Amino acid sequence: MKSFQAGNLKKAEGEFSAFANRYPKSPYLPLALFWNGNSKYANKDYTGAIAQLQNLIKRFPNHPRIPVAMLTLGNAQLESGNKAAAKKTFAEIISKYPDTEAASSTILALAKDLGYAPYVLSVSYGQRHSSELAAAKHIAKRMGVVQHEIVNLDLTRFGGSALTDSAIDVPTIPSKDQEIPVTYVPARNTILLSLALGWAESLGGLDIFYGANAVDYSGYPDCRPEYVASFETMANLATKAGVEAINHDNRFRVHAPIISMSKAEIIQLGTTLGVDYSQTVSCYQANDLGEACGECESCRLRQAGFKQANLSDPTRYRRS
């Protein structure tokens, strides 16, 4: 893993292959196959990545890394020019792993690539800056969404978070393990998903895409697979469309396709799908120009993601 994280992809491939050959009965064999496939993908050996990942999926279909392996497989198929196979793989992921899937731009690109006609919702909830909303507006227009709505909902009236209360500083050091950080906004994602659910039902839509990530996340309780599953259950209990559904195909589905991916894997996926990350904003305290601070936890996770993906970081950071 050290070779892979350091960007020495050829060496990493050799090490993973050697482990698989030397320890064919090891419980860590699936992980060796998984990371070997990812090494080949990162090294642009798409044919090798496809073969390695298909071998993993066939031999260990119940391994927890399979949903992420299938995402990488779909990306490799896209890169090798087999778009039909890639779409089939992506559709299979959503069908088989609806609750085990950065972020918003990557999700939007993936939804479009899967053939959905996306309606995009952004919320001005009193966050510290409006640059992410400006970026969302630009990206939505560039990607050709059907409709982009920006809803104003002032959560600063409640406070309780460093993102909605100017009296609470945004931390620049990582939170302790198992500690929910002060950047958590009380019930924010439940509120936002509820707005998305209401709009979806009024449109007659049944698929909601949510950019939650539980791997490199900051300890937020509403970024976990069990939360996504619970919200989907609630959506079908609390709506006319859900109650009147005659079968599973007519029920609401909440898709969180990147929930089990690392930041590096998300960036690789988005890059494959044509996301321009220089136009995205993830910083907790970006300025009005959309320039990131480079110090908050969101910035650190983003920087690490680009480094591990072996890609240059196009983020615009403000000068000190």
pLDDT of residue 4: 45
Q: How far is CA 84 from CA 89, 144, 211, in A?
A: 9, 22, 24
What pTM was computed for the model? Answer: 0.64
Exposed (0-12), middle (13-18) or buried (19+): which is 304, by Cβ within 10 Å? Answer: middle
Q: How far is CA 95 from CA 64, 143, 151, 182, 253, in A?
A: 16, 25, 30, 35, 10
Rounded to the nearest 5 degrees, what angle is found at the Cα of 242, between the Cα atoms of 239 and 246?
Answer: 150
**Interhelix angle for 9-22 vs 29-42, to 10°?**
150
The token pair at 93 is: 């992921």
The token pair at 171 is: 């931390």
Q: Name the one residue in this structure whose structure tokens are 């601070």.
A: 293
189 neighbors 259 (Cβ within 8 angstroms): no
SS3 for the chain is CHHHHCCCHHHHHHHHHHHHHHCCCCCCHHHHHHHHHHHHHHCCCHHHHHHHHHHHHHHCCCCCCHHHHHHHHHHHHHHCCCHHHHHHHHHHHHHHCCCCCCCHHHHHHHHHHCCCCCEEEEEECCCCCCHHHHHHHHHHHHHCCCEEEEEECCHHHCCCCCCCCCCCCCCCCCCCCCCCCCCCCCCHHHHHHHHHHHHHHHHCCCEEECCCCCCCCCCCHHHCHHHHHHHHHHHHHCCHHHHHCCCHHHCCEEECCCCCCCHHHHHHHHHHCCCCHHHCCCCCCCCCCCCECCCCHHHHHHHHHHHHCCCCCCCCECCC
How many other C-beta atoms are found inside a 10 Å radius of the C-beta of residue 188? 20
How many other C-beta atoms are found inside a 10 Å radius of the C-beta of residue 297? 21
Domains of the chain: 2-96 (1.25.40.10), 104-308 (3.40.50.620)
- Per-residue pLDDT tens digits for 151-209: 999 999 999 998 899 899 888 776 666 678 888 899 999 999 999 999 999 999 999 99
The token pair at 246 is: 């005659």
pLDDT of residue 100: 37
Residues lower than pLDDT 50 in the chain: 1, 3-7, 98-102
pLDDT of residue 91: 64
- Per-residue pLDDT tens digits for 196-219: 999 999 999 999 999 888 765 557
CA–CA distance, 134 with 61 (Å, rounded to integer):
42
